[in-house]
């Protein structure tokens, strides 16, 4: 299992390379009876697709999804849902020139060592192109979660040194914003910053924050399959992610217990609620009933036009090589929906796993005969 499968019950297997015939995903374990059509999936792919604006790659692909199986009369049948997105605009020739070089910041060298071989066409399997399949599968998970009253929202919380101000967030703006930043002031500053990066043939890193509302308490398994552990894997498995933080994240290491603990208060109806959410909605690996808050750090795009020294397969150094492919100056805008998708896939799987946590649930579903 070369690691292309994610999930225990709601299990997806992705396939495809950046420069092959296409990319796809098989979703196995989707419950029967969910109304599903291509449009439900397409709207998320459209948020990820390239060529949307000057802040993303100029590659132009329509990324149309085709459902090949698992649907009958407009509903999921419980059998595998096979989704396919064809590659259109490829231009492998863009890569020919560097096919014998290991691009800095890329998996090229590792692939060569691992497989004794490498698909130099734009990273092949490790290309961001593979995330198309994740978004397609994530769209199905999101539709189920929404039907259970669970909603997700991811956005660009920072671009390089420019951060969105939590007090100014306006989520209605997230998808109007070409860089997915729901704070108009910060967005303006970020535009300037990114333009500077582009002018200097450079690229920028950034962070994506994802929140989930309406999660029941009790999701996540106590030890290795903790909610935060599975989220960390899901999100760190997105290319270019270098850090995953839950709630206060790295700041928690600076705090004292009296500062970090979330205390309960009673609202006007006397209903208890957590007055703070340092935990980010997870305690001991299990959802605590408050909103889930996760933050992911993306490194800057590794493929930059500025000349760099590169190691060749010949073992020699090649000075001042420029990468000419059409690359995103920053990964964050298109990664926002990928983060949302991976979060949804993780939650979906743990929701299903959690259904076997109590004898009570078995009895609800299997109605033992009364003696």
Q: Which of residues 220-249 bind a second copy (CB under 8 A)?
A: 220-226, 228-237, 239, 241-249
User: CB–CB of 26/81 below 8 Å?
Assistant: yes
What's the min distance (Å) between Cβ of 214 and a second copy? Answer: 8
> CA 11 to CA 19: how far, in whole Å?
25
> CA 97 to CA 318: how far, in whole Å?
12
Residues 6+ apart with CB under 8 A from 257: none
The sign one gets for the Cα dihedral 356, 362, 364, 366 is positive
Which residues ranging from 308 to 347 are in contact with a second copy (CB under 8 A)?
Answer: 308-311, 315, 317
Residue in 177, 203, 209, 211 binding a second copy, rule: CB under 8 A: 203
User: Interacting stretch for a second copy, rule CB under 8 A, among 39-47, 52-60, 116-124, 179-187?
Assistant: 116-124
Q: Closer to a second copy by CB, 7 or 138: give it.
A: 7
User: How many Cβ atoms sit within 10 Å of the Cβ of residue 136?
Assistant: 30
User: How many Cβ atoms sit within 10 Å of the Cβ of residue 312?
Assistant: 13
Residue 75 CB-density burial (10 A; 0-12 exposed, 13-18 middle, 19+ buried): middle
Q: Give the containing element (helix H, strand E) for 94.
A: helix 93-96
Q: Is 70 in the site for a second copy (CB under 8 A)?
A: yes
Which residues ranging from 4 to 43 are in contact with a second copy (CB under 8 A)?
Answer: 4-11, 13-17, 20-24, 26, 28-34
Q: Is 188 in the site for a second copy (CB under 8 A)?
A: no
Q: Is 138 in the site for a second copy (CB under 8 A)?
A: no
Which residues ranging from 159 to 178 are in contact with a second copy (CB under 8 A)?
Answer: 160-161
Residue in 74, 167, 199, 264 binding a second copy, rule: CB under 8 A: 264
Q: Closer to a second copy by CB, 165 or 259: give it.
A: 259
Residue in 52, 90, 126, 151 binding a second copy, rule: CB under 8 A: 126
Residue in 42, 158, 174, 211 binding a second copy, rule: CB under 8 A: 158
User: How many Cβ atoms sit within 10 Å of the Cβ of residue 267?
Assistant: 9
Q: Closer to a second copy by CB, 188 or 362: give it.
A: 362
φ/ψ (deg, to 5) at 366:
-100, 0
What's the min distance (Å) between Cβ of 143 and a second copy? Answer: 10
Residue 266 pairs in a beta bridge with: 272
Which residues ranging from 86 to 115 are in contact with a second copy (CB under 8 A)?
Answer: 102, 104-107, 109-111, 113-115
Q: Is 260 in the site for a second copy (CB under 8 A)?
A: yes
Residue in 62, 188, 255, 324 binding a second copy, rule: CB under 8 A: 255
Which residues ranging from 277 to 296 are in contact with a second copy (CB under 8 A)?
Answer: 278-280, 283-289
Two tokens at 67? 């459902």
Residues 6+ apart with CB under 8 A from 43: 139
Two tokens at 147? 């039907």
* Closest C-alpha to 128, from 319, 346, 298, 260: 298
Two tokens at 142? 């999101």
User: Interacting stretch for a second copy, rule CB under 8 A, among 46-54, 166-174, 180-188, 210-218?
Assistant: 210-218
Q: Is 116 in the site for a second copy (CB under 8 A)?
A: yes
């Amino acid at each position: 299992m070369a690691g292309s499968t994610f999930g225990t019950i709601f299990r997806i297997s992705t396939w495809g390379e950046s420069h092959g015939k296409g990319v796809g995903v098989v979703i196995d374990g989707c419950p029967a009876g969910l109304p599903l059509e291509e449009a439900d999936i397409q709207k998320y792919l459209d948020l990820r697709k390239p060529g949307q604006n000057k802040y993303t790659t100029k590659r132009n692909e329509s990324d149309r999804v085709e459902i090949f199986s698992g649907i009958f009369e407009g509903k999921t049948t419980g059998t595998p849902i096979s989704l396919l997105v064809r590659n259109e605009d490829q231009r492998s020739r863009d890569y020919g020139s560097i096919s014998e070089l290991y691009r800095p910041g890329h998996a090229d060298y590792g692939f060569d060592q691992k497989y004794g071989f490498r698909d130099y066409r734009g990273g092949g399997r490790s290309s961001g192109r593979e995330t198309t399949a994740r978004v397609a599968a994530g769209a199905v998970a999101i539709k189920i979660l929404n039907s259970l009253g669970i909603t997700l929202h991811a956005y660009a919380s920072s671009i390089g040194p420019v951060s969105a101000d939590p007090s100014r967030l306006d989520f209605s703006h997230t998808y109007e914003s070409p860089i997915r930043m729901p704070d108009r002031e910060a967005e303006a500053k970020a535009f300037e910053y990114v333009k500077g990066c582009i002018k200097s043939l450079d690229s920028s890193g950034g962070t994506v924050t994802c929140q989930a509302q309406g999660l029941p308490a009790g999701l996540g398994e106590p030890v290795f399959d903790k909610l935060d552990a599975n989220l960390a894997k899901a999100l760190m498995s997105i290319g270019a992610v270098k850090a995953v933080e839950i709630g206060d994240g790295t700041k928690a290491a600076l705090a004292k217990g009296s500062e970090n603990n979330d205390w309960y208060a009673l609202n006007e109806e006397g209903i208890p609620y957590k007055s703070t959410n340092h935990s980010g909605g997870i305690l001991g690996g299990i959802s605590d009933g408050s909103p889930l808050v996760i933050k992911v750090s993306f490194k800057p795009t590794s493929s930059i036009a500025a000349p760099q020294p590169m190691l060749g397969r010949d073992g020699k150094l090649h000075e001042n090589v420029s990468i000419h492919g059409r690359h995103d100056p920053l990964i964050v805008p298109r990664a926002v929906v990928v983060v949302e998708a991976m979060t949804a896939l993780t939650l979906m799987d743990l929701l299903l796993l959690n259904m076997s946590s109590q004898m009570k649930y078995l009895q609800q579903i299997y109605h033992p005969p009364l003696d």
